[in-house]
Structure 1
Amino acid sequence: MIYKPKFEHRSQFIELRGLAYHVREWGARDAPPLLMLHGWMDVGASFQFVADHLADRFRVIAPDWRGYGLTETPGTDTYWFPDYLADLDFLMDALVGDQAVPILGHSMGGNVVMLYGGARPERCSHIINLEGFGLSKTDPARAPARMAKWLDELHTDVDMRPYASQSEVAARLMKNNPRLSADRAEFLAGHWAWEAEPGKWLIRGDAAHKRTNPYLYRLDEVMAAWRAIAAPVLFVEGKQTDARQFLGGLPDFEDRLTHIAHLTYRTIDQAGHMLHHDQPEQLAALIAEFLQ
């Protein structure tokens, strides 16, 4: 059994910064826009379940980041975080013009939108951050070792594990997220991976994403961007998430939230890191209430 969407998506490709960028949309073309940005090793189709509860009121727009989904891979050996900000800026130009619109980001996408909200405050009417916590504060003394690790990794090929079938991909998704139902997992598997040849399914994500970033996380700069955000921010966390623990616990997380001038913080029960899969109806209700 495969999940049947309440709202079917439309697809288009936009030539953007030298790449054919894939963009998925749900809802009426003349409805108020709501941009959704996926996380690391994910795709825009990941928002299908929450779009099913919002596309009656919004034009939900979800691009695949560079090197993910159906968007072109730039052919690089390293992905640079500022490229996501630039891609978003050009996507905004192409999709919504110069109007200020609400932007939602999950995980890595949440981190992107918070930085973008500080750099381009006039372009964000609202920001919705789903578990985009940031990373642990780093010690500058670790920089040489981090750069050396990156250099070493460049000398080694990196690839993605193949899967024998779409069902095997779905099983992997359910292993990663035990709250994901079988029908939703099977639906996502058909977008998250593709059959490169009979009996060989590959993730729609460039393996180069797995390489170490040579630059340390600069928390002070990130917090400066958070303080520059003018839009109201809705920060949503799953009550059963393990993301903060995975990131080292982030003991300074509550302090980070104080840098957001107009903050609404909410949690969703029976939801982990992939809260838009676990409780899409509850999440959609929070989003709709916030945007009112």
Structure 2
Amino acid sequence: MYQARKVSRSEFVPLRNLRYHVRLWGEPGAGKVPLVLVHGWMDVSASWQFVVDAFKDDHYVIAPDWRGYGLTESPPADNYWFPDYLADLDFLLDHYSPDAPVNLVGHSMGGNVAMLYAGTRPARIRRLVNLEGFGMAATQPAEAPKRYAAWMDQLKALHRGEMDLKAYGSAEGVAQRLMKTNRRLGQDKADWLARHWARQDADGMWRILGDPAHKIINSSLYRVDEVLELYKAISAPTLSVEASDNSLDQWWKGKYTLAEFHQRLQAVRSLAQAKVSDAGHMLHHDQPAQVAQHMENFLQDRAG
């Protein structure tokens, strides 16, 4: 099994009536800018371990489990709203860095949150790194009736138990599931991740640490015009990192393309771009050393 070189510690912080789990690496110190890492959909904060291990510099890393993921509590509501992630992040920064800006890194859904947050609270972000946080395909007002109906239908399916996540008989089964999803993930990392991505229940089954309500469609339309205004408001230098595999075109099959995402990025006033070779969407698992190098070069103003 993978052996972590830098051991994290856990804190539980009260945020917005939830008991939030936050994973920390390193210590705060004079001259250190807190490095906040936010994970993606159906992931957990421990997912950053491989990148943290690959860092060459000494960082104070703050990585929360989003609401309804990992060891953070789920809200009493039966669905999730994107603005809540922004508010949770705002409260988190109030707790850990109330008087100074942070470096913010997000992967996938976390990258989307990070971009929107940096446009909403530009003074709170020193530097911003977006790892494959592409956003969503544009929607049109005419889609609203069917979208609301789909949202309500999925809520009913959730309450009938039809959206429950699969349970596994062993941690090895969870690891196999992770490797099936990501063909580049080795057995050692999969075995390590499985014990953080899932937890054994009283019946001996391993259950994914993610609320199935995350699978429900958002009833609100995705407004690209609003997103672009938030992108325009980002004042922090921003690095957009992509994997060599074009996952976006694979997912959306022409409805939303990588070229469209690059067009949206032109709204960001100070933008750098980088690519990670031999990697898919989970690039921080596939090539953590490359990801860590891109991040540290950018955060420390190093060339290369």
Question: Which category of TM-score, normalised to the shorter sequence, fits these structures?
Answer: over 0.9
In the other structure, the counterpart of 2:270 is 262
In the other structure, the counterpart of 2:205 is 200
SS, match of residue 252 in structure 1: helix
User: Within 5 Å, which residues of 2 pair with 1:132-281?
Assistant: 132-156=133-157, 157=159, 158-247=163-252, 248-250=255-257, 251-281=259-289
Alignment check: 8 A CA contact 1:66 1:72 kept = yes
User: Within 5 Å, which residues of 2 pair with 1:78-93?
Assistant: 78-93=79-94
Alignment check: 8 A CA contact 1:117 1:231 kept = yes
Q: Which whole-Å CA distance do the structure 2 matches of 1:244 and 1:275 have between them?
A: 16
SS, match of residue 86 in structure 2: helix
What's the CA shift for 1:195?
Answer: 0.6
In the other structure, the counterpart of 2:16 is 17
Sequence identity percentage: 52
Q: Which whole-Å CA distance do the structure 2 matches of 1:136 and 1:21 have between them?
A: 30
Structure 1 pair 26–244 and aligned structure 2 pair: CA distance change class (3 A): farther
Structure 1 pair 290–56 and aligned structure 2 pair: CA distance change class (3 A): closer
Letter aligned with residue 17 of structure 2: G
Q: Which whole-Å CA distance do the structure 1 matches of 2:95 and 2:285 have between them?
A: 28
Q: Which whole-Å CA distance do the structure 2 matches of 1:50 and 1:285 have between them?
A: 9
Q: Which whole-Å CA distance do the structure 2 matches of 1:253 and 1:29 have between them?
A: 35
Alignment check: 8 A CA contact 1:12 1:24 kept = yes
SS, match of residue 68 in structure 1: coil
Alignment check: 8 A CA contact 1:7 1:55 kept = no
In the other structure, the counterpart of 2:50 is 49
Q: Which whole-Å CA distance do the structure 2 matches of 1:153 and 1:252 have between them?
A: 29
In the other structure, the counterpart of 2:297 is 289
Query: Is the counterpart of residue 75 in structure 1 residue 83 in structure 2?
Result: no
Q: Which whole-Å CA distance do the structure 2 matches of 1:54 and 1:103 have between them?
A: 15
Q: Which whole-Å CA distance do the structure 2 matches of 1:130 and 1:58 have between them?
A: 19
Letter aligned with residue 284 of structure 2: H
Q: Which whole-Å CA distance do the structure 1 matches of 2:6 and 2:236 have between them?
A: 29
What's the CA shift for 1:29?
Answer: 3.0
Q: Which whole-Å CA distance do the structure 1 matches of 2:116 and 2:213 have between them?
A: 23
What's the CA shift for 1:56?
Answer: 4.4
Q: Which whole-Å CA distance do the structure 2 matches of 1:66 and 1:281 have between them?
A: 28
Q: Deviations over 1:69-126 (max 9, x none)?
A: 0000112111011000000000000011121111000000000010001000000000
Alignment check: 8 A CA contact 1:5 1:52 kept = yes
Name the stretch that deviates more: 96-105 or 242-251: 242-251
Q: Which whole-Å CA distance do the structure 1 matches of 2:56 and 2:66 have between them?
A: 21
Paired residues, number: 291
Alignment check: 8 A CA contact 1:127 1:232 kept = yes
In the other structure, the counterpart of 1:129 is 130
Q: Which whole-Å CA distance do the structure 2 matches of 1:266 and 1:55 have between them?
A: 19
- Structure 2: segments with no counterpart, 5+ residues: none
What's the CA shift for 1:28?
Answer: 2.4
Structure 1 runs, 4 residues or longer, greater than 3 Å off: none
Give the TM-score, by structure 1 length: 0.97
Structure 1 pair 27–56 and aligned structure 2 pair: CA distance change class (3 A): farther
SS, match of residue 105 in structure 2: strand
What's the CA shift for 1:152?
Answer: 1.6
Q: Which whole-Å CA distance do the structure 2 matches of 1:214 and 1:249 have between them?
A: 19
Q: Deviations over 1:190-216 (max 9, x none)?
A: 000001134411100001111111111
CA RMSD of aligned residues (A): 1.2
